[in-house]
């Protein structure tokens, strides 16, 4: 279909005109509600919690519970939590604001190097902007090759795989399917670990005393997913180990915990909310806490860690609780993400 002069001479009059061939880099994060009112929350949670990669119960068992119980109550509680962290100026959630800022910085760096040949954008697995709408825009803009980048350092079926699924699903509808690649997890990438270490060092430098313990709190998963083959738990443990080695701290000063338990099953342990209380009672009165699984601050960090988990620590007698923000659009983080992109664009562009 390339419109060479000879070809154009033979092409029918309604032959589509084509923009110059480009490469797309499509960043993807989890998603977030459009607003924090009941119906926006319900729509978002319904899409999210109906995903079999997230909740793997058979639909006949899960859907009545989800529609009848979870979605009548949770939108109120979650809506209030979102309201407490909402970016009122931009009227959007922090996850959206930060993902856009990351995209802008990555776009600037890649456009400086490659000009118009590379187009960078972002999408969300649930809600807006959807994977499908952004794939369409990229194809319309001439992207014949697309690198899809789920922004999760550690792989989980409930995050990385479902984002990829949604991308592949959208590709199924395209007459002319672009060539595609997906970026693998980067939990052990030296630049990512260096960026994490930098954020910890900076946070500690601002304190009167070093923290007794650094808690690395990762989003949890049902424990069963690990025994069924999900490598998330192991990748989280490895990130913590590499971070500890990079910082040069003793092993008893850095621990791995899991937060955000949902539903009645056992999740990966120890649970952050319980562990910080245990630390306070054991005399570890000064802690710092970071969240390496989140590439951007969101409800799970700004509300759950910095409000609920902080309260648990203080109520148990803790004295100093330092929340270390996610890497967000820090230059060291952008450099780490750019390295993943460069590595995965090899052979497509040099
Ligand atoms: C970072 C990795 C994540 C994993 C692994 C993950 C698994 C997982 N999550 C739920 C349920 C919920 N998660 C919610 C929010 C949320 N989760 C992640 C990331 C991971 N989830 C992010 C980045 C966010 C924040 C989105 C934002 O807009 O800020 C929520 C919604 C909030 C709430 O109502 O509490 C739910 C629900 C399950 C069940 C699960 C694994 C099976
Ligand atoms: Fe989650
Ligand atoms: Fe949560």
Tell me the average pLDDT across 77-100: 98
Ligand 1, atom 15, lies closest to the CA of: 300
φ, ψ at 185 (rounded to 5°): -60, 155
Residue 63 or 15, more confident: 63
CB atoms within 10 A of CB 341: 18
Q: What is the reported pLDDT for 158?
A: 98
Residue 118 Cα to ligand 2 midpoint, Å, equals: 31
pLDDT above 90: residue 4: no
Quick one: which atom of ligand 1 is closest to the CA of 93? 28
With 0-12 CB in 10 A as exposed, 13-18 as middle and 19+ as buried, what is 347?
A: exposed
Packing angle of the helix pair 331-345, 190-205 (nearest 10 deg): 180
Tell me the average pLDDT across 165-184: 97
Under the banding of pLDDT at 50, 70 and 90, the label for residue 18 is confident
pLDDT above 60: residue 5: no
pLDDT tens-digit map of 68-83: 999 999 999 999 999 9
Q: What is the reported pLDDT for 16?
A: 81
Tell me the average pLDDT across 269-279: 98
Q: What is the reported pLDDT for 108?
A: 98
pLDDT tens-digit map of 102-130: 999 999 999 999 999 999 999 999 999 99
Ligand 1, residues 93, 299, 328: which to mutate, most atoms within 8 A of Cβ? 299
> CA 295 to CA 98: how far, in whole Å?
9
Tell me the average pLDDT across 315-329: 98
Quick one: which atom of ligand 1 is closest to the CA of 221? 41
Quick one: which atom of ligand 1 is closest to the CA of 32? 28
pLDDT > 70 in the chain, percent: 97
Structural domains in the chain plus CATH codes: 20-184+333-345 (3.40.50.1400), 190-323 (3.40.50.1400)
Cα angle, residue 134 at apex, residues 53 and 3 outer, rounded to 5°? 130
Ligand 1, atom 38, lies closest to the CA of: 54
Q: How do the residues of the chain divide into helix, strand and coil, expressed in percent and rounded to 5?
A: 50, 15, 35
**Token reading at 348:** 């497509």
Q: What is the reported pLDDT for 17?
A: 84
pLDDT tens-digit map of 223-262: 999 999 999 999 999 999 999 999 999 999 999 999 999 9
What HEC string does 120-145 produce?
Answer: EEEEEEECCCEHHHHHHHHHHCCEEE
CB atoms within 10 A of CB 307: 14
Q: Relative to the alpha carbon of 291, which ligand is closest?
A: 1
Residue 57 Cα to ligand 3 midpoint, Å, equals: 20
Residue 114 Cα to ligand 1 midpoint, Å, equals: 35
pLDDT mean across residues, the chain: 96
With 0-12 CB in 10 A as exposed, 13-18 as middle and 19+ as buried, what is 77?
A: exposed
Residue of 118, 126, 115 whose CA lies nearest to 49: 126
With 0-12 CB in 10 A as exposed, 13-18 as middle and 19+ as buried, what is 176?
A: exposed
Q: What is the reported pLDDT for 7?
A: 62
ipTM of the predicted structure? 0.94
Q: What is the reported pLDDT for 85?
A: 97
Ligand 1, atom 33, lies closest to the CA of: 78
pLDDT above 50: residue 3: no
> CA 45 to CA 47: how far, in whole Å?
5
CB atoms within 10 A of CB 223: 15
pLDDT above 80: residue 176: yes
Q: What is the reported pLDDT for 14?
A: 87
Residue 14 Cα to ligand 2 midpoint, Å, equals: 47
Q: Relative to the alpha carbon of 258, which ligand is closest?
A: 1
Q: Relative to the alpha carbon of 97, which ligand is closest?
A: 1
Q: What is the reported pLDDT for 297?
A: 98
The radius of gyration of the chain from alpha carbons, rounded to an integer in Å, stands at 22
- Predicted model pTM: 0.95
Task: For residue 185, give the DSSP letter.
Answer: P
Ligand 1: residues within 6 Å at CB? 30, 32, 54-55, 74, 78, 93, 95, 152, 156, 158-159, 219, 221-222, 232, 260, 262, 293-294, 298-300
Residue 301 Cα to ligand 2 midpoint, Å, equals: 11
Residue 33 Cα to ligand 1 midpoint, Å, equals: 12
Q: What is the reported pLDDT for 2?
A: 47
Ligand 1, atom 28, lies closest to the CA of: 32
Tell me the average pLDDT across 144-162: 98
pLDDT above 90: residue 218: yes
Q: Where are the alpha helices (DSSP H) in the chain?
A: 5-10, 38-49, 59-65, 71-85, 94-114, 131-140, 162-171, 190-205, 223-227, 232-247, 272-281, 310-315, 331-345
Burial pattern 197-221, b for ≥16 Cβ within 10 A else e, equals bbbbeebbeeeeeebbbbbbbbbbb
């Amino acid at each position: 279909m390339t419109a060479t002069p000879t070809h154009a001479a033979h092409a029918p009059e309604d032959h589509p005109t084509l923009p110059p061939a480009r490469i797309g880099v499509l960043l993807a994060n989890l998603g977030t509600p459009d607003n924090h009112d009941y119906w926006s929350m319900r729509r978002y949670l319904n899409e999210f919690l109906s995903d079999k990669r997230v909740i793997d119960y058979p639909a006949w068992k899960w859907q009545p519970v989800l529609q009848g119980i979870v979605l009548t109550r949770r939108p109120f509680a979650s809506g209030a939590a979102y309201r407490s962290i909402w970016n009122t100026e931009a009227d959007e959630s922090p996850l959206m604001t930060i993902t856009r800022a990351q995209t802008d910085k990555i776009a600037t760096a890649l456009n400086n190097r490659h000009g118009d040949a590379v187009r960078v954008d972002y999408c969300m697995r649930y809600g807006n902007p959807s994977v499908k709408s952004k794939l369409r825009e990229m194809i319309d803009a001439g992207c014949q090759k697309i690198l899809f980048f789920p922004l999760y350092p550690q792989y989980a079926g409930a995050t990385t795989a479902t984002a990829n699924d949604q991308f592949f699903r959208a590709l199924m509808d395209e007459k002319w399917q672009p060539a595609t690649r997906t970026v693998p997890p980067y939990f052990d990438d030296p630049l990512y670990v260096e960026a994490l270490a930098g954020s910890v060092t900076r946070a500690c430098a601002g304190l009167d005393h070093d923290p007794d313990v650094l808690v690395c709190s990762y989003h949890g998963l049902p424990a069963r997913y690990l025994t069924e083959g999900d490598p998330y738990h192991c990748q989280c443990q490895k990130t913590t180990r590499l971070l500890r080695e990079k910082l040069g701290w003793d092993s008893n000063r850095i621990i791995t915990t899991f937060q955000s338990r949902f539903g009645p099953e056992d999740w990966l342990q120890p649970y952050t909310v319980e562990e910080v209380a245990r630390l306070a009672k054991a005399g570890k009165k000064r802690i710092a806490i970071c969240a390496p699984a989140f590439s951007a601050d969101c409800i799970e960090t700004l509300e759950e860690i910095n409000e609920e988990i902080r309260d648990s620590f203080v109520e148990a007698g803790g004295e100093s609780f330092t929340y270390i923000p996610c890497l967000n659009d820090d230059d060291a983080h952008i450099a780490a993400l750019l390295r993943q992109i460069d590595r995965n664009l090899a052979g497509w562009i040099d």
